[in-house]
Structure 1
Amino acid sequence: MRTLTLFWAILLLFSCQTVKQDKAGISSSQITIFDNELTIEGLDRPRTIRVYTPPGYADGDQNYPVIYMHDGQNLFEDSTSFAGEWGVDENLDSISKINGLDLIVVGIDNGGENRIHELTAWDHPRYGKAEGKAYMEFIVNTVKPFIDSKFRTKPERQHTAIMGSSLGGLISHYAIYEYPEVFSKAGIFSPSYWWGKGPFDQVEQKKLPNDTRLAFLMGGKEGDNMVKPMQQMVSKILANGHSDTNLTSIINPEGEHNEKLWRSEFQEAILWLFQ
């Protein structure tokens, strides 16, 4: 396995990183933005939350499953993204039309220069203090109750997912293992498992409920330092007894570490997670 160069590490850490934050940006009437209305307890950082509601939400009384996603600036709007958007709203509108699956998505903005700390749950000798525990407590104890009170959600774990890419994939791994009573599904895209032993130790120490669904994705062009650790993690989770019918792992041979890959695989992952 080739050595992770400083350049590659910086690229991975700061992809989906600091974005244009002069305005929240609105991509459609289906996006509601709560601009710095909630604060991460213990870190004293206000955070913008972006909420997508499915077609027909405003005219009905149905309740919907919810996906909580990291790097909210990159989900819906090019103008606020780091390197292009995921097209979450367009993708979900398409899923609604073709497959009849309707979901709410809650995008939690990243913390800019603090992103590297907030999206990691294990300290790193080079990159410093992890703040992922406080960040996930914020999502579980502040954001989720806020969303459940303002939107017609299905709040139970079987209807609740967590999803992210890169460091967002890493913190999504942490979340599904730390809060199995809250989340039953996780989309773990391009996870930064090179970070260290923490997530591997977590898998050894904890076992997920068998109905937990895990969707892994990696681009074949992301490099051995990304691909191999994910393959090792998938093998470890299965060896720990998790059902292979509730885990999917895709390596897109042409995929690179960017929003283009994550956008292209989003629909398939969502349909599998919520089938």
Structure 2
Amino acid sequence: MKNLTSLLMLGLLLSCAKNDPIPVPSAGSIERIPMMPSQHVPARHIDVWLPKDYPAQAPYAVLYMHDGQMLFDANTTWNKQEWRIDEVASELMQAGKVKPFIVVGIWNAGSARTSEYFPQRAFEMLEPAVRQQMTEYYQKAMDLDDDEVVPVYSDRYLKFLVEELKPVIEQRYRVSAAQQDTFLMGSSMGGLISMYGLAEYPRVFGGAACLSTHWPGNMGDGPDNPVPSAFYSYIEKHFPPPGSNRIYFDHGTETLDASYADRQLEVDRRMKQKAYGENDWMTRTFPGADHSEKAWAARVHIPLEFLLKKSPDSAEKLPE
């Protein structure tokens, strides 16, 4: 009951944002599903980007992106940066490098972003004392009062995506519902939830892109941080076998990204143990790149091409 009360309080706070401006894309158009209700998570905006020629090339693949308020228009973001996903996607489609797709930008939960994006089954692998320590660390880092701390609920978030949002998108838009046309993408904590979503729902999502994946999990960068080991164990036990999914990881070398290289090497070792190869797994390092939307925008074409590259299946059409 306490968890539910916390979520309802968060929903009340988010409802104050009903008048948030709709991003103005440089290419294509955006339609908003304002404050989409859910039985699993607080209501939030969903911004759906459609390419300029929509729906001429239907059915379209679908890319579900986390931190949806940061994707399309620097004039509406808190740090005046954006992913430029509309420009990059348009360029790739026009060049014939990827199959046609739309982008579903899912707004985050503000101060509860970590609670929503931290992989829940990995969190539950941690000792109770470590879970409490992580909660306290996050509370201090975000300067939250006790009643503002929301327990990890990423399983609910994924249920929202799979059971509520995905059916709405497939009803409203001329898109493919097939696993091989459905993808996740995010950065930092959004990278973690993208990896987790693919592992938990491998028959729903055909691939995931995890940029600057935040393996420390908001527990600092110390060598005794137990959180990365929980992620390694989760991947060993629960990641799907190769052959039906694609996974992309990357990181830079500056600011927060400077702490990711060793952790990513450990993840890569697990991927090799699971026999993932170049057709279904890619890890890239970008020297000099920092932890920012500007950096992700500069390289997002790489995971887009990896996940959405054209194949004979992409020519299939949905029945009328």
Q: Distance in 2 between matches of 1:237 and 1:259?
A: 27
Unaligned ranges ≥5, structure 1: 1-17
Q: Deviations over 1:65-103 (max 9, x none)?
A: 111000000011113323311011111111122226321
Q: State which of 215, 220, 229 in structure 1 corresponds to 2:253.
A: 220
**Computing the radius of gyration over CA atoms, which structure comes out larger, 1 or 2?**
2
Q: Does 1:57 align with 2:65?
A: no
Structure 2 match to 1:271: 305
- SS in structure 2 of the partner of residue 130 of structure 1: coil
Asked if structure 1 preserves the Cα contact closer than 8 Å seen for 2:97 and 2:305, the reply is no
Q: Deviations over 1:187-241 (max 9, x none)?
A: 0111111121332222111242423111111001245532211121122122122
Asked if structure 2 preserves the Cα contact closer than 8 Å seen for 1:55 and 1:96, the reply is no
Q: Distance in 2 between matches of 1:31 and 1:207?
A: 34
Q: What amino acid does structure 1 have at the position aligned with 2:208?
A: A
Aligned residue pairs total 254
Q: Does 1:260 align with 2:294?
A: yes
Q: State which of 162, 171, 194 in structure 1 corresponds to 2:216.
A: 194
Q: Does 1:115 align with 2:113?
A: yes
Structure 1 match to 2:155: 133
Asked if structure 2 preserves the Cα contact closer than 8 Å seen for 1:24 and 1:33, the reply is no
Q: Deviations over 1:140-184 (max 9, x none)?
A: 111100100000111111111101000000111111100001011
What is the identity percentage for the equivalent residue pairs of Structure 1 and Structure 2?
26
Q: What amino acid does structure 1 have at the position aligned with 2:132?
A: P
Structure 2 match to 1:159: 181
Q: Does 1:88 align with 2:85?
A: yes
Unaligned ranges ≥5, structure 2: 1-13, 124-130, 136-150, 218-226, 310-320
Q: TM-score, normalization: structure 1?
A: 0.86
Q: Distance in 2 between matches of 1:250 and 1:130?
A: 29
Larger deviation, residues 147-156 vs 220-229: 220-229
Give the RMSD, CA atoms, in angstroms.
Answer: 2.0
Shift >4 Å, 4+ stretches: none
Structure 1 match to 2:148: none
Q: Distance in 2 between matches of 1:207 and 1:61?
A: 33
- SS in structure 2 of the partner of residue 146 of structure 1: helix
Q: What amino acid does structure 2 have at the position aligned with 1:30?
A: S
| CA 1:235–1:131: 2 relative to 1, 3 Å | same
Structure 2 match to 1:67: 63
Structure 2 match to 1:77: 73
Q: Distance in 1 between matches of 2:237 and 2:34?
A: 38
Asked if structure 1 preserves the Cα contact closer than 8 Å seen for 2:23 and 2:76, the reply is no
Q: TM-score, normalization: structure 2?
A: 0.74
Structure 2 match to 1:238: 272
Q: Does 1:177 align with 2:209?
A: no
Q: Distance in 2 between matches of 1:265 and 1:92?
A: 12
